[in-house]
Structure 1
Amino acid sequence: MLLIRCPWCGPRNETEFHYGGQAGVTYPADPGALTDEEWGRYLFVRANPKGGWEERWSHAAGCRRWFTVRRDTATNEWSA
């Protein structure tokens, strides 16, 4: 079992959370001007690094707030 630390509720079981993807992905400035290919890249293409990176999580079964954590994809170590 993986424990995820919610900044508001403390450590909770991973089943209470929903993964929100890579943090820091900005919405396109002019979405109407994007081609289908550009929309596809925006929606589905993300970095897949080995090591530390930031991701978004939602405490769906608790306070329902979104937060950003830094997780090492090689060791699965978390830091808020």
Structure 2
Amino acid sequence: MLLIDCPYCGPRAEIEFAYGGEAHIARPAADVSEEEWEAFLYLRDNTKGVLAERWRHAHGCGRFFNALRDTRTDRFHAFYEIGTPRPDVGDAA
């Protein structure tokens, strides 16, 4: 079981959370081409290493936040509120 540290409620079990996908992806303008819209909807980095992710504390405060998780080990390196810059943790291997 993963322990996720909600920035608003503190550490909780992973079963209280819902994964929200890759973080820091900007929605394109309304007048983009079909190819650009397709890339926004479906293409992700699939990083092997530290990835910025969105999470929602679904069975708690209900708020979204970001987390840095190493996809190789499932280890979390940082948790931070939406709208704040990504912390620098390097590759953190």
Q: TM-score range by the shorter chain?
A: 0.7 to 0.9
Mapped partners of 2:48, 2:36: distance in 1: 25
Aligned residue number for residue 4 of structure 1: 4
Return 5+ residue gaps in structure 1 as ranges: none
Aligned residue number for residue 65 of structure 1: 63
Give per-residue Cα distances to partners, 1:19-61, cap 9 Å, x unaligned. 1111110111x22x22333222101111111111211101011
Mapped partners of 2:63, 2:9: distance in 1: 10
After the TM superposition, which residues 1-80 of structure 1 pair with which residues of structure 2 at under 5 Å, given as runs?
Answer: 1-28=1-28, 30-31=29-30, 33-78=31-76, 79-80=78-79
TM-score, normalized by length of structure 1?
Answer: 0.86
Q: Give the deviation of 1:3 after TM superposition.
A: 1.5
Partner secondary structure for residue 36 of structure 2: helix
Instruction: Percent identity, please.
Output: 50
Higher relative contact order (CA 8 A, sep 6+): 1
* Alignment root-mean-square deviation, CA: 1.2
Paired residues, number: 78
Q: Give the deviation of 1:76 after TM superposition.
A: 1.1
Return 5+ residue gaps in structure 2 as ranges: 80-93
| Larger helix share, 1 or 2 | 1
List structure 1 runs of 4+ shifted beyond 3 angstroms. Answer: none
